[in-house]
Amino acid sequence: MITVEHLTKCYGDFVAVDDLSFEIGEGHVYGFLGPNGAGKSTTMNIMTGCLSATAGHVRIDGHDIFDEPNQAKALIGYLPEQPPLYMNETPTEYLRFVGEAKGLRGEELTRQIESVMEQTKIQDMRNRCINALSKGYKQRVGIAQALLGNPKVIILDEPTVGLDPIQIIEIRDLIRQLGQSHTVILSSHILSEVQTMCEKILIIAKGKLIAFDAPENLERRLLAPSEITLTTEADEQTAQEILAGVDGITETKFSAGPDSLLTIHLRTDAHDIYHLSKALFFAFAQKNTALLEMALKKANLEDIFLELTESSEESKSSTEAKGAKS
């Protein structure tokens, strides 16, 4: 559906996007993440044809965004972070203007306006001035204009920014519905939002793609649980003797828990955390010592994002240092 090949964008000596390549299939909701200055917005602007590239290609359903801009752009609906709304118009007037700009006319234009209003649930606001609408409804009008022309690809830049919790839930539900019939690419700084809505996530840092996978696969591949917390009736000395017979433990901390119980915080470099958990359970059982609780620290998207972007930054700094020495 979307193919990005060796995409590069330079501003003088500064490389904003650095030889970026990835493919996005048809359907589903994709998350696009990156810290400030990562090249995320630049990449999205190039993908929508709003910005030229220094090198590389972007193809939308086989159409090159640079060589066949009209065909490629007809397949894209775009909502920038600040929706391009005309505040003195009603949603009906505004959508008619956008539809005509996209080449729609007559009955087809009227039919599509009614369809996108129904999809975004703004029928009751059709004759109100956009300036008088809440931010949530303004965002819905922005999404409605992106849907005109029935594009295969919907690109949304920070679609929930500035919304209240109820409005965020409503927009999330709408985006999930869109993902059933469109390819949706969602850019957001809210990691929990991306984890909730997106089936696959792209993470870029310093203009380079550093991860592209499903959230659950990123958790397993990049940050398997490395911390275990135990609660036991054993005293500290007994617990130390038991743990001494278990391989794979790199760090141990003891603290007093409630009701005279002992809390133990373990760190491990073991690849199979569940095998280690089983070994701990049997080690305590063999000493007839009650192990009342065992908890694994599970990685979340924020942990993954920080680890990947920090690793990318360290790698870049190391490369620059080596280059300076040579």
CA-based max dimension of the chain:
83
Q: Print pLDDT tens along the chain (326 aa).
A: 899 999 999 999 999 999 999 999 988 899 998 877 888 889 999 999 999 999 999 999 999 999 999 999 999 999 988 888 999 999 999 999 999 999 999 999 999 999 999 999 999 999 999 999 999 999 999 999 999 999 999 999 888 887 888 888 888 899 999 999 899 999 887 777 788 889 999 988 889 998 899 887 776 665 455 789 999 999 999 999 999 999 989 999 999 877 889 999 998 877 777 888 999 999 999 999 999 999 887 666 666 677 766 765 555 555 554 555 54
The residue behind tokens 């039919």 is: 111
Q: What is the pLDDT of residue 137?
A: 93
Q: What is the pLDDT of residue 323?
A: 53
Check whether residue 190 and residue 233 sit in a common domain. no
pTM: 0.74
Tell me the CATH number at 207.
3.40.50.300
Q: Where does residue 278 rank: exposed (0-12), middle (13-18), buried (19+ CB within 10 A)?
A: exposed
H helices, E strands: number in the chain: 11, 14
Cα 312 to chain centroid distance, Å, stands at 17
Q: What is the pLDDT of residue 160?
A: 86
Compute φ and ψ for 81, nearest 5 degrees: -60, -40
Domain that holds residue 251: 224-296
In three-state form (DSSP H/G/I as H, E/B as E, the rest C), the secondary structure along 29-84 is EEEEECCCCCCHHHHHHHHCCCCCCCEEEEEECCEECCCCHHHHHCCEEEECCCCC
C-alpha closest to that of 313 among 24, 26, 35: 35
C-alpha closest to that of 87 among 130, 139, 126, 143: 130
- Quote the CA–CA distance of 253 and 263 in Å, as a whole number: 8
The last residue of a domain, from among 191, 215, 239: 215
Check whether residue 173 and residue 247 sit in a common domain. no
Strand spans (E) along 233-290: 249-256, 262-268
Check whether residue 237 and residue 210 sit in a common domain. no
Check whether residue 207 and residue 243 sit in a common domain. no
